[in-house]
Chains A and B, each alone.
Chain A
């Protein structure tokens, strides 16, 4: 128990003192997972909306694939992205393995199906009669999609929370494609594994307190927007 109390105390101390290394790790996590979530939104919202509104043969298969993708194990994504980015791999010319960009790519792959799946569900929840009415009132197809998305915006905030929460807390992909390099690709979760491996349990607990606080703060802000009336 004493280790938990020490950890919480140390978390506060690390933040208050502005420990450069901890701030760097915190910023890396935020930057990488934030960018990955934004990319996932850019890909997932159009894809989810299109899947919700379109009817084509094999649609059930695609939707099933998206739903499976929502549970993609980060370590699987990490392994495949690592192999693609190896110097000897097909994307080796980019030379981005063991950089924050590599983690962004892996995390975007993890978050995109989550955003797509939740957008799909949110848009499908908008009654079909509402869309028909829009068209009846003379809306173009683009206008209809835009208004439908606006109507689904509250449940779609859940997509942002789920996507961001999923990637900022994952470890498998960050460790593999980032390499946990000090000052560069060390994120909150990989730093936690390292400190545990070093036997510095108090620092590891301090980092986990920071991670939880960070995720909570972001979800709080998003929930405030979502619940605003």
Chain B
């Protein structure tokens, strides 16, 4: 019994020691970001490079854009990489975030079943396509989770002057990957980012229907957190990460990321560009 006890104490201590060594001090940066940056594998490539060059340790918390920004607004993160410009600008206006800078973009597209019940294949305007889907009552799966993708989808429905509703409108409440699975299973249309669609191309038989509309641009920005949001915001670390994301070296890595696996890059680097350029 005594030996067991000493073993337990030793174990607890060892965990406590490893933990304190990793505790978020000034050398740790908490990055709140979206699931797509993690699911695409981009973070796995970028973060080790940043950690090696800067000496910081990054804790990347991958959640929906809504939650990523909410965490930052509470001071629970030091820097945010998100893809919902309208929401981001609101946080910047409110003073919760600052120095919003564009990092990269790719695009969203509407995909759907081969049979194309709403006849939207090749439609140039995504808003017109959504109107057709609603008119025909063809099934559409929504993320329904306040992610960047969901925010854009809501903006598009609003532009179409529609309030989508059940039974043809299905809210998955899950990440992009699971949502693609549900849409595939239900033979429904859905809005997806290109990176996730490519990652799932083996398992999802849905076909691209509408792409190339300017409204479907998927722009990622990095923002620093206002230190007044909460105690212990690592301002220097957050800025270091944001600056690094925009450095020419990092942008070069982003430019070629995904080519080996998908035969095409997943993101286009756009450091220095402004919202007005798109």
| Of the residues B16, B38, B47, B175, contact of A101 by C-beta under 8 Å | B16
Cβ of A4 to closest chain B Cβ, rounded Å: 14
Q: Which residue of A lies closest to B229 (CB)?
A: A88
A99 at the interface (CB under 8 A from B): yes
Contact status B59-A197, CB under 8 Å: no
Give the bracket for the number of chain A residues in contact with chain B.
20 to 34
The answer on a CB contact under 8 Å between A88 and B19 is no
Q: Which residues of A are interface residues toward B (Cβ below 8 A)?
A: 31-32, 34-35, 38-39, 42, 86-88, 92, 94-101, 104, 179-182, 184, 194, 196-199, 201
10 inter-chain pairs at a CB distance below 8 angstroms, sorted by A residue, are A34-B11, A86-B74, A87-B232, A87-B233, A88-B75, A88-B76, A92-B231, A96-B19, A99-B22, A182-B47
Which residues on the B side are within 8 Å of A99 (C-beta)? 19, 22-23
Q: Which residues of A contact B217 (CB under 8 A)?
A: none
CB of B65 within 8 A of chain A?
no
Per the 8 Å Cβ criterion, residues 58-102 of B in contact with A are 59-62, 74-76
B236 vs chain A, min Cβ distance (A): 16
The contact of B12 among A38, A87, A198, A199, by CB within 8 Å, is A38
Stretch at the interface among B199-207, B241-249, B252-260: B199-207
Interface size of B in residues (CB-CB distance below 8 Å): 39
Cβ-defined contact, A98 with B59, below 8 A: yes
- Tell me if B185 counts as interface (CB < 8 A to partner A): no
**Shortest Cβ distance from A164 into chain B, in angstroms?**
14
With contacts A87-B232, A92-B232 taken as known, whether A31 is within 8 angstroms of B15 at the C-beta atoms is yes
Q: Which residue of B lies closest to A3 (CB)?
A: B203
Q: Are A87 and B60 in contact (CB under 8 A)?
A: no
* B145 interfacial by beta-carbon distance below 8 Å: no
Residues of B within 8 A of A100 (CB): 15, 18-19
B122 within 8 A of A: no
Interchain CB contact under 8 A, B35 and A199:
no
Residue contact A35 to B12, C-beta cutoff 8 Å? yes
Contact at A95–B25, with CB atoms within 8 Å? yes
Whether B30 is near chain A, meaning CB under 8 Å from some CB there, is yes
Encoded as 1 (CB less than 8 Å from any A CB) or 0, chain B from 193 to 232 comes to: 0001001101100000000000000000000000000111
Q: Which B residues lie within 8 Å of A96 (CB)?
A: 19, 23
Are A38 and B11 within 8 A (Cβ)? yes
